[in-house]
Structures are given as C-alpha cells and as structure tokens.
Amino acid sequence: MKSIMLVTTNQGKVREVKKFFEDYNIITMADAKIDYNIEETGTTFEENAVIKVESIISYMEKKDTNQYLFMADDSGLEIDFLNKEPGVYSSRYLGEDTPYEEKNKIILERMEGVLWSNRTARFVCVIAIIAPNQKPIVTKGTIEGYIGFEAKGSNGFGYDPIFYINEETSLAELSAEEKNKISHRGKALSAMKLKIESEI
C-alpha cells in the first residue's frame, strides 16, 4: 500500500487524520521536508481541496511521487446569521495570523443578542485525494450545529470551542473518538477511506 502524504501544515488536522487512518502509513509535508505554500484561490471547498493536491504533485514533478497518494482537505465554518461567513475563508478570517481564541471571541461579540434558534451553523469538510497521473477523488462531510454563547472545551482546535452540537456541548468538549464519529472531517474521512479501499 502506498503512503499517504497529507498536504497540510495544520497539526490539528494531522492528528485527526492519523487517528482515523491508523492502519495506513501517513506522512506530512514536514516529514518529507517540503516547505511549500499553496495559494488557495478557489471559491468553494472542493476547488481549494483539489488545488492543494494538484499543486503539490506539480511542485514535486521532478521527484518520485509514485510512492504516494496525496490527500488534502479544505474545511470551514458557515454561520447563517453572518451570511455563511467565514466559509471558505475560515483559516484567513479576521487575519491569517489572528489566533483562533481571538477569532472566536470576535464572532461571539458579533452574535451577541442573537437568539439560539438563529445561531445555526455548520462545519463543512471536503477531502481530495490523488495518485500521480490520475484524477482527484473527492468526498464531503458536514455537521449541523449552533454557535454557542461562550467558548467551551479544550479538545479540538480552531472554531471547535464555539460550535455546539446541542445547547450544552461544544465540539471541543468531545474526545477525539467521539468527535470523529460525528464531525464533518470524520464523515469525509470515512467516505474517503471506503473510496481508497475500493477505487485505488
């Protein structure tokens, strides 16, 4: 079985993928000593995920890429009250270098006074995987929820502390195992695992 290279520098994503693909040889760009910044120019999650895997294959065209499958995801938070912001710009929202703790605080301030029923939101994850000289395979997962009234929990990463699966529990309060069963990324990874085993 080929190794899977994760086209990401996000250590939170790396941890989740490795947990899910425990039977696979997962390596990161850092493991392969690849320092390459991919510009996300797509307007949808799918476009950005595909851009990432196609860009890394193009970047590595002079190297031996046949030993790898390349996997990337593009994911984000859509808040209905904020016209589905931050959406595909989730990682760059309010400034690429702004800590998520600060981003979450600002979002909660913007949502101040909004009723629970109007705080609907969802996480979206699109995963693309590609083998050299093949077309990308894409899967998608979503989880519906709400923006809470406060940030809670120390598990997870990013916007997890303000995303609630019910009125009491944020995504950041779940264990990795619990989160993988219901999360947007867990659903997309589960679908991708089936595709890898049946199509690649």
Cα distance between residue 69 and residue 132, in whole Å: 8
Strand ranges (E), 19-168: 26-28, 68-79, 85-86, 120-130, 137-147, 163-164
Cα distance between residue 145 and residue 104, in whole Å: 16
Cα distance between residue 91 and residue 175, in whole Å: 23
Length of the chain: 200
Give SS3 for 66. coil
Cα distance between residue 139 and residue 83, in whole Å: 24
> Which of the following is catalytic: 31, 35, 73, 74?
74
Cα distance between residue 1 and residue 165, in whole Å: 36
Closest by alpha carbon to 9, among 130, 32, 127, 20?
32
Active site residue 74: yes
Q: Which residues form the catalytic set?
A: 74
